[in-house]
Amino acid sequence: MADAYLSRGVSPTKDEVKEAVFGQDQGLFPGSFCKIIADPAGDTDWCAAIHADGAGTKSAIAYMMYKETGDAEWFSGIAQDSLVMNTDDLLAIGSTGPFYLSNTIGRNAHRIPGEVLRSIISGYDSVIAKLRGLGIDVIMTGGETADVGDLVRTVICDSTVLTRMLREKVINAANITPGLDIVGLSSTGQTTYEDKENSGISSNGLTAARHLLLHYDYIKKFPETFSETIAEDKVYVGPYHLEDKLPGSSMTVGEAILSPTRTYLPPVAEMLAGYDKDILGIIHCTGGGQVKCIDFSGGIRYIKDRLFETPPLFQAVLDTGEVTEREVYQIFNMGHRLEIYCRPEISDRLISIAGKYNLAAQIIGHTEVCAPDYNEVQIKDFSWHKHLSY
């Protein structure tokens, strides 16, 4: 367990959540990355998935940047975070759209004025337009904005996304077998469809990143950005201010933590169009980081021995000395946020497709046989085990 996360009130593995939903119907494709249900339109050749997620505590950083600069545009990328955390989870079951989006904004109106709402809503419009230009259809169906100041300190930005797809096109992570290559798609750099360099942070591990990197000065300046239930010696214990340059990067620390969540839809849609029969699983390395895969399939040893070089933002977290190297792999994506489990003969072709989008990709590992009813993840000198019989 990642103590740096748990001590700040967040579980990287969500064990209590998994326990709470254990025994619920697993849908049409048990073991898939998202629950898949029957087609609401009643077509037995089709199925559907409805997914909910959001930007999480990343909005606290947008709030801090907004208060420091007076510029509400810092919130525009939060909409992309909220959307992509849904669409790329759905991508992990093989869906490339259309996606039907409803957004939910819960704000403390005393701190989040109308200009911030406009920035978030226009952020949705902007990312939807960009995706449409890349051949990905997202249809905004409406949403809800609620003033819930008694519950929310600043703002929460969440989304719910519906997609329909042919059952024969479903990618089910339960089908991951031994003998596959794991192709990782980088979370950093700048793809052809991004406007600037991406730090790779995505929308996971933000509670850890904020408190481990940012300076104690912010505990008095922005007490509304953290919970009073966190021990004071766990709040903003880092060496950096938002405007400081992130070592090894062209970004400031604030810019790096707010870097919008990259979508992998354009390149992976092309991969699926040509090689879907040779892709047996897709894992979105979000909650749980590089150990996320341990929850899928069975009797699999996930060997990750050729990871990308640790990106500057995650290295800065490690350099604080407040979190162990083992822990960071459970909290952050550490350089690649999407994994494609494929037959070895197509790995180079997938990497080539990624290259067309200036998206770094490489074989980061492979799968082996593990003991029945167990999964194992091996990264460097670390390993995690999970017994799959409950």
In this predicted structure, what is the pLDDT of residue 388? 80
**Which of 154, 159, 196 shows the shortest CA–CA distance to 59?**
154
Report pLDDT digits (tens) over 59-118.
Answer: 999 999 999 999 999 999 999 999 999 999 999 999 999 999 999 999 999 999 999 999
- Given the structure tokens 């490339």, which residue do they identify? 96
Asked whether the beta carbons of 203 and 86 are under 8 A apart, the reply is no
> Domain tally for the chain?
1
In this predicted structure, what is the pLDDT of residue 25? 86
In this predicted structure, what is the pLDDT of residue 26? 86
Retrieve residue 79's tokens. Answer: 């909409």
State the alpha helices, DSSP H only, in 92-205.
114-133
Q: Residue 156's beta-bridge partner residues?
A: 106
- Given the structure tokens 């341990």, which residue do they identify? 294
300 dihedral zone (left: phi>0; alpha: psi -120 to 50; beta): beta
In whole angstroms, how large is the CA radius of gyration of the chain?
20
Peptide bond into 98 cis (omega under 30): yes
Half-sphere exposure of 363 (CA within 13 A, CB side): 14
Taking residue 112's Cβ as centre, other Cβ atoms within 10 Å add up to 26
| Domain limits for position 38 | 3-387
What beta strand segments (E) does 23-113 contain?
A: 37-38, 46-54, 99-107
**Which of 134, 137, 110, 118 shows the shortest CA–CA distance to 78?**
118
Torsion of CA 234, 235, 240, 246, to 10 degrees: 70
Taking residue 367's Cβ as centre, other Cβ atoms within 10 Å add up to 22
The helix (run of H) or strand (run of E) holding residue 352 is helix 347-356
For residue 193, what is the domain's CATH number? 3.90.650.10
Cα–Cα dist 287/296, whole Å: 14
Under-50 pLDDT residues of the chain: 390
HEC per residue, 312-330: HHHHHHHHCCCCCHHHHHH
380 secondary structure, DSSP code: T
Cα–Cα dist 115/73, whole Å: 9
In this predicted structure, what is the pLDDT of residue 333? 97
